[in-house]
Amino acid sequence: MKQSLIIVFVFLSGMAQAQIPVEIFAGYQKLTIDVMFFKYFKNKQKENSNWLFFNRNRASVDYRMTSKTYLPQFGFTEAISYNHPKLKGFAPVAVVQLLGWGVYPKAGIQFFHRKNDFTFFSWVVCETLKDPNIDVFVLSRYEPKLTEKLNLFTQLELVNAFPTNNTEYFNLTQRVRLGLKIKDWQFGAGADFNETGNKTFTNTNNIGGFLRHEF
């Protein structure tokens, strides 16, 4: 089933005709590779349709990895939403997440706004499984011009999972990027923070530098 879903969404991503940004983030704890984009499907006139496709593929490698502990982590998130102009950026969205421990279908409400050098993308979705988590995702990006060939690159990302069962854990993630943009390249400093727990929380962080390129 997982393989079939991956094939379907790879096909859909090709239909979306998107440039694909790839980020490598080297922190003092982990190395991560991140591919994330959102693009409108094209209609027969090669114009943007109301259908928006979101793709997120992420892998991380812990420097403490052994043959049995701190193994690499993988995650795939794919979403399709219908963005009618009368909804003013809001849209129903269907999401599928493929993680190392299972497949999670989700549904909810999305908001997308892009104007000039500012992008804001967010959703609130709920798992369609028993005892579901409620996910709140926020991506905010600001890329103002500094000179004719140089832009500032700033990005804030929030990935939060709130359980509906009192015994399950909260999972709260914040990722910050601050750097420069030259043509299709972005680079600079970054930090990833994570809090996991219920009544008491375990905190981890990964601070380092990133290099990002749009292929």
Return the structure tokens found at 106.
């989700």
Q: Which residue is it, tokens 């279908």?
A: 105
Q: What confidence score (pLDDT) does residue 18 get?
A: 56
Q: Is the pTM higher than 0.75? A: yes
Return the structure tokens found at 76.
């795939």
Output Rg (C-alpha) for the chain, integer angstroms: 18
Q: What confidence score (pLDDT) does residue 5 get?
A: 40
Of 59, 153, 144, 140, which is closest to residue 99 (Cα–Cα)?
Answer: 59
Return the structure tokens found at 111.
């908001």
Q: What confidence score (pLDDT) does residue 197 get?
A: 94
Gap between the Cα atoms of 90 and 8, Å rounded: 25
Q: What confidence score (pLDDT) does residue 46 get?
A: 85
Per-residue confidence in pLDDT tens, the chain, 215 aa: 444 344 344 444 444 445 789 999 999 999 999 999 888 998 888 889 999 999 999 999 999 999 899 999 999 999 999 999 999 999 999 999 998 778 899 999 999 999 999 999 999 999 998 889 999 999 999 999 999 999 999 999 999 999 998 888 999 999 999 999 999 999 999 999 999 998 899 999 999 999 999 98
Of 97, 175, 158, which is closest to residue 133 (Cα–Cα)?
Answer: 97
Measuring CA to CA, how many Å separate 80 from each of 25, 37, 83, 188, 200? 27, 12, 10, 31, 35
